[in-house]
Amino acid sequence: MLALHSLSCGPVPGPVSYTRCIVNGVRFHTKDRESRRNTQNSGIVVEGNHLDDVIDFYGVLVDIIRLDYVRDKHVLLFKCEWFDVDKRKARIVDRLWYSADPYVLANQAKQVFYINDPKLGLNWRVVQRFNHRHIFSEDIDVTNILDDPEMVHEDDAYQDEELTNIQSTVLNVDGDGVRALHREGVIAEVV
């Protein structure tokens, strides 16, 4: 009931804008922030209605806006540029639509990657969906994301363990069958 009261009072003046956030354990970056990186975290897909059909809207994240409400409640909105959806599997990236309706609730968005389509040309992308690993903590307060020194260093790729000495083993197939792969001097660990 308190949440409903907070929403009914309207947002506090002065929305806050961010270039990155974590929603449902998935990291999102804006298109501008992503332009300075090797990774891609701004691809968005949202299910919605177009005419009488339920379709997927594909786009890129342009801005992350937090609307604050009374009683410490807030809502995250994603401002997106939506690609004009074609019947093909690929998406053209220079035709946009729904520019008058760019906002979605952040928790409704799913992340996708756009891969260049060499078959159809430079302006076409193939949409790559994937299952999220949800490796980022949902406890992170989005208000402190820019001031937190821990978050500044999280731009590195996620890796559980650091490999310092990598040895390779060649698989030999001969008349006796296949020999097991193993490294000399390493005790096997059963997990």
List, for residues 137-165, the tens digit of each pLDDT value.
554 444 444 444 344 333 444 444 444 44
Integer angstrom CA distances of residue 30 from 1, 128, 190: 33, 18, 42
Average pLDDT over residues 37-63: 86
pLDDT band at 190 (very low <50, low <70, confident <90, very high): low
Dig out the tokens for 36 from the structure: 């300075």
Integer angstrom CA distances of residue 54 from 43, 46, 47, 48: 20, 10, 7, 6
Mean pLDDT, rounded, of the chain: 72
pLDDT band at 184 (very low <50, low <70, confident <90, very high): low
Distance CA 169, CA 30 (A): 42
Least confidently predicted of 77-81, 82-86, 129-133, 180-184 = 180-184
Q: What is the model's pLDDT at position 79?
A: 94
Q: Where are the alpha helices (DSSP H) in the chain?
A: 2-8, 31-34, 149-152
Side chain identity, residue 113: F
CB 46, CB 156: distance < 8 Å: no
Dig out the tokens for 96 from the structure: 């946009």
Ranked by mean pLDDT, which of 109-113, 115-119, 120-124, 166-170 comes out on top?
109-113
Is residue 74 classed as helix, strand or coil in its secondary structure? strand
Distance CA 17, CA 151 (A): 17
Average pLDDT over residues 104-126: 83
pLDDT band at 166 (very low <50, low <70, confident <90, very high): very low
By percentage, how much of the chain surpasses pLDDT 70? 63
Q: What is the model's pLDDT at position 191?
A: 54
Least confidently predicted of 77-81, 129-133, 146-150, 165-169 = 165-169
